[in-house]
């Protein structure tokens, strides 16, 4: 996993450079402009079968990205950027050949790392860091906020959520699970600082909102506040409570979970064992200052 994360990080940096050099500075991102920067043209066609998202061909030394015009706009945009990623990163398609099928794009289960890296590149282009992190900083963390930003950037909830967590100004994670297993996890640096890890390819924790939604079957989304050890092994001592908001995407047997800590979830009192540690220290300090008073220093 460490190796993938290094490649993922390098891919993100390449995407940022690509967007910056193409001069993209407003949302939604101008795809024609990005395509031109990679010597590519976008062609929207209506005669692809529904299970085909797009393909790339070469015409007179130029890349032509063909997109299925019958798909939703957000999906067309992601397809274009995924195909652009293959061109810019010089990564050959690993299992869809020249054609990118919808199943390949939407299902995470058995995707080769090259394909996941192309998705990472696409997401970074769709939601450029500088623009997007400013927008994330202006809102409180919630699935509703992710939905609003998804509309603004014309991106899917999945893509927006994963970038949202990375840009969040609080400890925050976004988990994509499929068939009840975690498939992709993104985290803010603040969560990394708390050492809040969530593994890929593990069963959804029992007691999580995501797990309950899948078991229950009547609701498609829910919010709850949970003990932090539901998602994080051994819990997080200074953050006993977390918030989780999850949404089911039944079409793909997937669930999206936004997990975060904010000030409203902090305990009113610090945990007892920490108070006990602090008290003797406070008594020691009481009355005897360990440094000279102002008059003595002068």
Q: How far is the CB of 88 from Zn ion (least distance, A)?
A: 12
Q: How far is the CB of 93 from Zn ion (least distance, A)?
A: 5
Q: Tokens for 279?
A: 């008290």
- DSSP annotation string for 99-124: EEEHHHHH--TT--HHHHHHHHHHHH
Q: How far is the CB of 149 from Zn ion (least distance, A)?
A: 25
The residues that bridge with 58 in the sheet, in sequence order, are 63
Q: Which is nearer to Zn ion, 112 or 137 (CB)?
A: 112
Vertex 45: Cα angle to 40 and 49 (nearest 5)? 120
d(CA 196, CA 204) in angstroms, rounded, equals 16
Asked whether the beta carbons of 132 and 149 are under 8 A apart, the reply is: yes
Q: How far is the CB of 86 from Zn ion (least distance, A)?
A: 6
Q: Which is nearer to Zn ion, 115 or 178 (CB)?
A: 115
Q: Which is nearer to Zn ion, 116 or 157 (CB)?
A: 116
Q: Which is nearer to Zn ion, 54 or 196 (CB)?
A: 54
Q: Which is nearer to Zn ion, 75 or 187 (CB)?
A: 75
d(CA 123, CA 98) in angstroms, rounded, equals 21
Nearest residue to 83 via CA among 45, 43, 131: 43
Work out whether strand 172-178 and strand 254-260 pair parallel, antiparallel, or are unpaired.
Answer: antiparallel
Asked whether the beta carbons of 186 and 127 are under 8 A apart, the reply is: no
Q: Which is nearer to Zn ion, 93 or 162 (CB)?
A: 93
Residues that bind Zn ion (CB under 5 A): 93, 115, 118
Q: How far is the CB of 258 from Zn ion (least distance, A)?
A: 26
> Any residues with CB less than 8 A from the CB of 77 and at least 6 apart, and which?
28, 31, 126, 154, 155
Q: Which is nearer to Zn ion, 87 or 241 (CB)?
A: 87
Asked whether the beta carbons of 198 and 184 are under 8 A apart, the reply is: no
Q: Which is nearer to Zn ion, 176 or 243 (CB)?
A: 176
Residue 263 C-alpha from the chain's centroid: 22
Q: How far is the CB of 34 from Zn ion (least distance, A)?
A: 16
d(CA 162, CA 176) in angstroms, rounded, equals 8
Within 10 A of 238 (CB to CB), how many other CB atoms are there? 13
Q: How far is the CB of 94 from Zn ion (least distance, A)?
A: 7
């Amino acid at each position: 996993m460490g190796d993938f994360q290094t490649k993922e990080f390098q891919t993100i940096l390449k995407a940022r450079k690509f967007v910056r050099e193409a001069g993209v500075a407003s949302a939604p991102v101008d795809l024609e402009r990005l395509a031109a920067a990679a010597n590519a043209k976008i062609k929207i066609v209506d005669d692809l079968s529904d299970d085909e998202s797009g393909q790339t061909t070469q015409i007179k030394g130029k890349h032509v990205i063909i997109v299925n015009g019958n798909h939703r706009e957000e999906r067309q945009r992601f397809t274009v950027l995924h195909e652009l990623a293959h061109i810019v990163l010089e990564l050959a398609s690993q299992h869809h050949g020249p054609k990118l099928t919808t199943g390949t794009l939407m299902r995470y289960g058995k995707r080769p790392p090259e394909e996941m890296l192309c998705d990472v590149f696409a997401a970074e282009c769709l939601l450029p860091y500088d623009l997007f992190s400013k927008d994330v900083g202006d809102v409180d963390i919630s699935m509703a906020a992710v939905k609003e930003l998804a509309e603004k950037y014309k991106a899917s909830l999945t893509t927006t959520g994963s970038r949202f967590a990375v840009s969040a100004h609080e400890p925050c994670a976004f988990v994509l699970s499929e068939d009840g297993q975690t498939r992709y996890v993104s985290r803010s640096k603040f969560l990394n600082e708390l050492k809040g890890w969530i593994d890929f390819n593990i069963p959804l924790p029992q007691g999580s909102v995501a797990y309950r939604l899948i078991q229950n079957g009547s609701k498609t989304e829910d919010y709850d506040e949970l003990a932090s050890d539901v998602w994080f092994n051994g819990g997080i001592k200074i953050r006993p409570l977390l918030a989780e908001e999850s949404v089911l995407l039944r079409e793909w047997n997937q669930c999206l979970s936004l997990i975060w800590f904010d000030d409203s979830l902090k305990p009113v009192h610090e945990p007892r064992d920490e108070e006990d540690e602090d008290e003797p220290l406070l008594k020691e300090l009481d009355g005897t200052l360990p440094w000279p008073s102002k008059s003595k220093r002068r």
